[in-house]
Amino acid sequence: MWLRIKRTLKDLPKWQLVVLFIFVVILFLTIFGPYLAPFPTEIADPSARLLPPSGKHWLGTDENGMDIFSRILAAPRTDVVIAVIATAISVFLGSPLGVLVALYESRRGAASTAFAEIFMRLLEVMQSFPVFVLAMVLVAIFGGSVTNIIIAIAFVNTPVFVRLVRSEVLSLVQRPFSEAARAVGNSELRLGFRHILPNATPTVVVQVSVTVGFAILLTAGLSFVGAGVGPPTPELGAMIASGAKYLIIEQWWPALFPGLALGTVVFSFGIFGEILNKVMEPRAVGGNIDRRREITLEKGQDTAAQETAEPVVAPAALFTRSSEPILRVEGISVGARELGDIKLLRDISFSLESGESMAIVGESGSGKSVLVKSVLQLLPYPLTVTEGRIRYGDKDLLGMEKRRIRTLRSTEIAAILPNAKSQLNPLVRVGDMMTSAVRAHQAATRKEALSRALELFETVGIIDPEKRLEAFPHELSGGMAQRVCIALALMHHPKLIIADEPTSGLDVTIQRQVLDLTRRLADDTGTALLVITGDLGIAAHYCDKVAVMQAGRIVEVNETSALFSAPQHPYTKHLLACVRV
């Protein structure tokens, strides 16, 4: 954790480091601010009323003659403490309620579902009222003491954490680790609080920082309208309110400086949430690079050093066809400034024509997935294509605007990614996903979009398609979810399909069905098919040619039959020998 924090701080932009420093100063003032004030913060001095900024009173004095700078130093103890306590109450009330509601929903029983529905509708009624107005009404009813202000702020913020934790738990409850926890005998409550809630903690912690900033603003707002902390307690909202009436006579300092302080406090808490998100992200270690990728890269370099044979590429005449390539990758390398001279991919070249199928094979860590993301222009920051070109037809993908790339990816270039269930939104019904995808690029009514979705489901062999449209992703089997992903990929008649481990996690029978379906649909429409796989059997049975990857480079390319019958590169021979054994 400390290493992650250190590396994250090192990679932060300078302006965020400045904001982080201000955040630390605010926390320091929350504890020690009243003791650092050069003048009394709650004792009036009528002889010094409304003095402008000077060497003695750096920010001037207010209507009661109290030093504004001293009161600003002391104010965070009031605002921040109220906000932190109120937010803590919201978290400790909202998180367990969110877990319970999600567990009731996941049971799918009539009574459980009814309870969850009623509870969520009540939350929606609460959240339909403007937050500030609701808090002001509560304070007006029960009184303006600090305790009542904390309770009011906690009350209006609790639904935020209920909904946040509920959505996280609904997403996590169908994950394999949850099923494993059930299998060893954990009760539903133990599953929710011992196994699932800790996995939702990073999201909750990040939200806490943002909510504290909002609570500070809400506290100041209540004080500004006279429903919050009253004088003479130093509080930024009350200070702004008392100074606002003097703006008309050009005595601006009693309102301006507390206003700037309030804006700085709220802004710093919001930015701290963003910084905290980077620290809490497990993969955010130094340059936003996954440590696992670094380990894989180091392993790949060792393998490459041991294997010095030159890449083997079959004569171009073997692949000559009448049509121009629909996809041409020319000498691309992938790296990042943080990696220096290290390349994850090096001098990758291949081409794919319409109606042709090609497999990219290799062991785990050879760079297959990085190659897919390079072609799709989905490389995570800071990785980028440092050399070469990627052409789709006559279009240069590397030089294309992001907007045009997105349009191509959703219409002409389709991706089938591994682990189909993880690619589908766990909180959205399959039918809603399908209709949204149809209407995103076609002028169609919802009825027309549903008709198109049913047609696609029938095309990919989904049984009882009407029922499947009403299902959530977790209600589908692995093979059925993969068919849904294939239907989404084929929706707009793509010219190129990129299938990255399309049978990952499926049993052998379903693998065969999915691969047969994908190849048949590609053949029927003349679509080019690029298959990324670590299974040589898939490459042998479903592809016209094969490229073998090792340590970030393609070491051999040939027609499928020729490559399997007479491999040329030592690494290819090694892979085939492993399979034959």
Q: Is the peptide bond before 232 cis (omega within 30 degrees of 0)?
A: yes
SS3 content of the chain, % helix, strand, coil (to 5): 60, 10, 25
The CATH number covering residue 302 comes to: 3.40.50.300
Q: pLDDT tens digits, the chain, 581 residues: what are they?
A: 566 566 667 777 888 889 899 999 999 999 999 999 999 999 999 999 999 999 999 999 999 999 999 999 999 999 999 999 999 999 999 999 999 998 888 765 566 678 888 888 888 888 888 888 888 888 888 887 889 999 999 999 999 999 999 988 888 887 767 766 765 567 788 888 888 888 888 888 888 988 999 999 999 999 888 888 888 899 999 999 999 999 998 899 999 999 999 999 999 998 888 787 777 654 444 444 444 344 344 444 444 444 556 666 555 444 445 457 888 998 898 887 666 667 888 888 888 888 888 999 988 888 888 888 888 887 877 788 888 999 888 888 888 887 788 778 767 888 887 777 777 777 678 888 888 888 777 777 888 888 888 888 887 778 888 888 888 887 888 778 888 888 888 788 888 888 888 776 666 766 777 778 778 877 777 788 888 888 888 888 888 899 999 888 889 888 988 888 888 888 888 888 876 54
In a domain, 231, yes or no: yes
Q: Looking at residue 135, what is its pLDDT? A: 87
Run of H or E including 370:
helix 368-376
Neighbours of 46 (CB within 10 A): 8
**Structural domain span for residue 513:** 292-326+354-382+395-412+492-580
In a domain, 229, yes or no: yes
Q: Looking at residue 298, what is its pLDDT? A: 44
DSSP states along 176-189: HHHHHHHHTT--HH
Residue where a domain terminates, one of 280, 312, 334: 280
Q: What is the dihedral of CA 24, 30, 34, 35, to 10 degrees?
A: -60
Residue 472 amino acid letter: F
- Asked whether the CA dihedral 524, 418, 395, 331 is positive or negative, the reply is negative
Q: Which two tokens stand for residue 134?
A: 């609701």
The CATH number covering residue 257 comes to: 1.10.3720.10
In a domain, 474, yes or no: no
Whether residues 146 and 270 fall in one domain: yes
Residue where a domain terminates, one of 221, 254, 280: 280
Instruction: Give me the phi and psi of 67, to 5 degrees please.
Output: -70, 125
In a domain, 549, yes or no: yes
Whether residues 500 and 370 fall in one domain: yes
Instruction: Give me the phi and psi of 51, to 5 degrees please.
Output: -80, 140
In a domain, 286, yes or no: no
Cα separations in angstroms, 332 against 3, 123, 386, 398, 545: 33, 53, 7, 10, 20
Whether residues 223 and 269 fall in one domain: yes
Whether residues 241 and 144 fall in one domain: yes
Whether residues 191 and 318 fall in one domain: no
Residues in CB range of 106: below 8 A, 6 or more apart: 170, 173, 174
Specify the DSSP class assigned to residue 61: B
In a domain, 129, yes or no: yes
Whether residues 268 and 170 fall in one domain: yes
Cα 38 to Cα 286: distance, rounded to the nearest angstrom: 42
Q: Looking at residue 7, what is its pLDDT? A: 66
Q: Looking at residue 226, what is its pLDDT? A: 85
Cα 495 to Cα 515: distance, rounded to the nearest angstrom: 18
Whether residues 404 and 547 fall in one domain: yes
Residue where a domain terminates, one of 280, 309, 338: 280
Whether residues 205 and 304 fall in one domain: no
3-state secondary structure of 278: helix
Q: Are 14 and 291 in contact (CB under 8 A)?
A: no
Number of domains in the chain: 2
Whether residues 151 and 271 fall in one domain: yes
Whether residues 201 and 304 fall in one domain: no
3-state secondary structure of 240: helix
Q: Looking at residue 176, what is its pLDDT? A: 65
Q: Looking at residue 303, what is its pLDDT? A: 45
Residue 474 amino acid letter: H
Cα separations in angstroms, 272 against 5, 26, 375, 426: 13, 12, 35, 29
- Asked whether the CA dihedral 95, 97, 103, 106 is positive or negative, the reply is negative
In a domain, 192, yes or no: yes
How are beta strands 553-559 and 312-313 bridged, if at all? parallel
Q: Looking at residue 59, what is its pLDDT? A: 95
Q: Looking at residue 54, what is its pLDDT? A: 94
Whether residues 239 and 370 fall in one domain: no
How are beta strands 545-550 and 357-361 bridged, if at all? parallel
In a domain, 469, yes or no: no
Whether residues 376 and 275 fall in one domain: no
Report residue 8 CA to chain centroid gap. 17
Give the total residue count for the chain.
Answer: 581
Cα 8 to Cα 14: distance, rounded to the nearest angstrom: 12
Cα 133 to Cα 135: distance, rounded to the nearest angstrom: 5
Provide the strand spans (E) within 354-448.
357-361, 384-392, 395-396, 413-416
Run of H or E including 111:
helix 110-128
Q: Looking at residue 216, what is its pLDDT? A: 93
